[in-house]
């Protein structure tokens, strides 16, 4: 799935297609996870080692999975298969994944919940998320302390998701009863903390073997071969990570709107990332006469690429959306609200319906509507979005606070329907904000909504 060891940008500049095989080993990874969990709770490795040394010891007592609550963090290709298999053990399955609709969890017999609830209620927590800036060290001493005493941790996803030093300390204190780990922040492990975790008697370990089944290797090889044949014959390279679909000339002609569509997707997923169930893409005006499907794929690529392990682009965007249970509709309209062309994206998620619209001026993408308010700005860089009841002094307070933090405001845009009514302010910043700074801004002005959007 990963292309971490390939310079995709350099390949793209040279016209080299980069492809992967993201589906061939998912069953293998899911089965390995369940196998590691069973080995952990039934103490199989310890019993195996003792008997190999001809020590007949029947006093090793494990635990059953039946009637336990298992928390699955991430319901993608592997996580969904793990959840389905765990149901067969008569477990209660909780799921946390802010990027899938609730019906996806229900279809698997699981209950979608927030991260904190999953940590508090689960007897076992297993992780199936990509390693991103958002998921790196998503479980530290703070999160481990919120779990049940005696919880068990399984990580067969990526090293670095669970802080290894904090996990080691929790094992020593008894807060965590055991762990099953296939992936490491150092591979092979060399550091003092990681090697201590590997050697810990309450930890079941394997050397990143999740995808290592003979069937998975055949599946991956066949997928790769099929794509090579498709490339040779001029067909669609199904899992390409760096090429578009459709007529290259048309893509070039629509490029400013493709860029706009991708940025609308990236913007809206950061604006409200919770459990997207449906995406509606509406094109109006001159651009509607070209290729609405291409623009819809660009929206999906922008929305899904930041939150999935695989690279999402114009080739595979529909496939990835379908795999995650997201409904996608594409429509044309005549009404353009006074613009020559207009692209509108509406997302239905747990937090309600969010709407974002944009157009292109002089070749540059512009957002022209948020929710039901007209507001115009260029979607790039660090964008602070705040919503509050408009009153004198708010803008000055924001400027003063950011100034004290050495954060420069490059531009400011305000949208509102009536004087001193509800307003949305968009601040284009030259510098990033820390979570603490964002919290401080929110509290200072009494904002009921605050997001920092990061766009290339």
Q: What is the CA radius of gyration of the chain?
A: 25
* Size (the chain), residues: 456
189: left (phi over 0), alpha (psi -120 to 50) or beta: beta
316 in Cβ contact with 304 (< 8 Å): no
What are the distances in angstroms from CA 388 to CA 61, 376, 448?
A: 57, 18, 6
Catalytic residue among 111, 208, 413, 454: 208
178 in Cβ contact with 148 (< 8 Å): no
Total Cβ atoms within 10 A of residue 243 = 19
158 catalytic residue (yes or no): yes
187 catalytic residue (yes or no): yes
Catalytic residue among 32, 128, 152, 158: 158
Alpha-carbon torsion angle 383, 384, 387, 393, nearest 10:
-120
Catalytic residue among 134, 187, 333, 335: 187
Report phi then psi at 77, rounded to 5. Answer: -60, -45
446: left (phi over 0), alpha (psi -120 to 50) or beta: left
208 catalytic residue (yes or no): yes
Q: Which residues are catalytic?
A: 158, 187, 208
């Amino acid at each position: 799935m990963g292309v971490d060891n390939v310079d995709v940008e350099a390949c793209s500049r040279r016209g080299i297609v980069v492809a992967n095989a993201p589906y061939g080993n998912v069953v293998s990874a899911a089965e390995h996870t369940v196998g590691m969990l069973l080995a952990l709770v039934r103490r199989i490795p310890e019993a195996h080692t003792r008997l190999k040394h001809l020590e007949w010891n029947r006093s090793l007592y494990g635990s059953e999975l039946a009637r336990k609550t298992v928390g699955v963090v991430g319901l993608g290709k592997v996580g969904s298969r793990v959840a389905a298999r765990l149901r067969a053990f008569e477990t209660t399955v909780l799921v946390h994944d802010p990027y899938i609709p609730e019906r996806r969890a229900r279809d698997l017999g699981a209950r979608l919940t927030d991260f904190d609830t999953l940590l508090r209620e689960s007897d076992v927590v297993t992780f199936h998320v990509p390693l991103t800036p958002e998921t790196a060290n998503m479980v530290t001493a703070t999160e481990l302390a919120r779990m049940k005493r005696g919880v068990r941790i399984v990580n067969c996803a990526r090293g670095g998701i669970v802080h290894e030093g904090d996990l080691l300390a929790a094992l020593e204190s008894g807060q965590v009863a055991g762990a099953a780990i296939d992936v490491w922040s150092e591979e092979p492990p060399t550091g003092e903390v990681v090697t201590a975790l590997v050697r810990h008697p309450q930890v079941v370990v394997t050397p990143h073997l999740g995808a290592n089944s003979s069937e998975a290797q055949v599946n991956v090889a066949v997928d790769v071969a099929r794509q090579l044949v498709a490339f040779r014959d001029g067909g669609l390279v199904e899992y390409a990570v760096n090429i578009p679909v459709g007529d290259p000339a048309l893509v070039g002609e629509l490029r400013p709107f493709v860029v706009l569509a991708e940025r609308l997707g990236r913007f809206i997923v950061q604006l409200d990332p919770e459990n997207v169930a449906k995406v509606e893409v509406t094109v109006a005006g001159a651009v509607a006469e070209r290729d609405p499907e291409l623009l819809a794929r660009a929206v999906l690529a922008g929305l899904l690429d930041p939150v999935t392990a695989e690279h999402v682009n114009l080739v595979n965007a529909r496939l990835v959306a379908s795999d995650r249970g997201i409904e996608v509709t594409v429509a044309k309209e005549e009404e353009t609200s006074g613009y020559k062309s207009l692209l509108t994206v509406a997302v239905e998620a747990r937090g309600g319906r969010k709407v974002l619209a944009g157009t292109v001026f002089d070749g540059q993408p512009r957002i022209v509507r948020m929710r039901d308010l007209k507001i115009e700005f260029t979607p790039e860089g660090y964008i602070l979005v705040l919503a509050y009841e408009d009153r004198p002094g708010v803008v000055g307070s924001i400027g003063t606070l950011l100034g004290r933090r050495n954060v420069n405001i490059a531009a400011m845009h305000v949208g509102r329907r009536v004087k001193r009514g509800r307003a949305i302010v968009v601040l284009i910043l030259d510098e990033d904000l820390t979570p603490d700074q964002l919290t401080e801004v929110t509290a200072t002005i009494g904002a009921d909504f605050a997001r920092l959007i990061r766009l290339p």
